[in-house]
Structure 1
Amino acid sequence: MLASEQVVIADDDATQRIFASSVISRIGFTPILAKDGLEALELVKSSGASILVCDLDMPGLDGHEVTRQIRAADLGRYIHIVMLTSAGQAEQRRLALEAGVDDFMTKPLDSAVLTVRIRAAARLVDHELALWEKNRALQLAKGRIEHDLHVAAEAQRRLLPGETRVN
């Protein structure tokens, strides 16, 4: 299962969690439910999920702090964060963007919009993973080339007349 197939849903409102979970399940993703920000943070770290749908206003860690901690953590993968806000929270949205949020949705959730946003997030996460894998392959190839160049340079130095080898 790709990491983008799992979606952590963090909301202190059980009705919103269940609704989002049913939409996400219906489109073929696996929802992982969190009732607050602290639980969401732990689930993102432990599950391997790369998509988080997170309410802004939660007890304990709010959406801003969850986002900041995810961005500060070395998880080895990118986490796409969709923040759930109320319609009139323009300043909160600005702060969320500064913290590292990728996308927003207003409450109450719309199943069609949530479907589109999750599928788009999954595509972005999958592209990021593909780029990471290609970059890793390039780094390995670069390492082999640099080693081969070092070996070839050493062999050429040995062929030079009067050259003293230094170890």
Structure 2
Amino acid sequence: MTSSSERADLLASLRRHRGFLLFTVGGLSDEQARLTPTASVLCLGGLLRHVADTEQRWGAFAAGGAAAMEKIEVDWASGFQMPEGASLADVVAGFQAAAAGTDALVETLDLDAEHELPKAPWFEPGASWSVRRVMLHLIAEISQHAGHADIIRESIDGQKTMG
């Protein structure tokens, strides 16, 4: 049985790491959010978009398994770019909507429920993940991209999330 403190811990961790990521775009213009000032092709708006897309896909998996996840299209070619014509405010709003959806799942789904992973070369065939493991994966994903974003932001104007 899942405790309310476990759900609270998952939510607190998700929100903390999302906060680090959102901090990196504070006060930036749309043009700055599109910049790629490092050796990478990553930009801050693209990282927010990617994390939002990732939360939506893994949320669909947590709620309905691989088939539900696979119904959400992935833009592998430009998924790390800020969409043409989108403002940073648009991207942040999409990010926040995806986060709210994930948070609602943490609050309502059985964290012990498991689904078989989609067939993909990076997953062990026949392996299953619990909703809990999906949420832990999202925390890791968000944290990793918050680190990327911090480097990009520091390259733009010297601002750091910490330090």
Scaled to the shorter chain, the TM-score interval is 0.3 to 0.5
TM-score of the two chains, using structure 1 as the length reference? 0.32
Which structure carries more relative contact order (alpha carbon 8 Å, separation 6+)?
Answer: 2
Larger radius of gyration: 1
Query: Which structure is higher in strand share?
Result: 1
Using the size of structure 2 for normalisation, the TM-score is 0.32
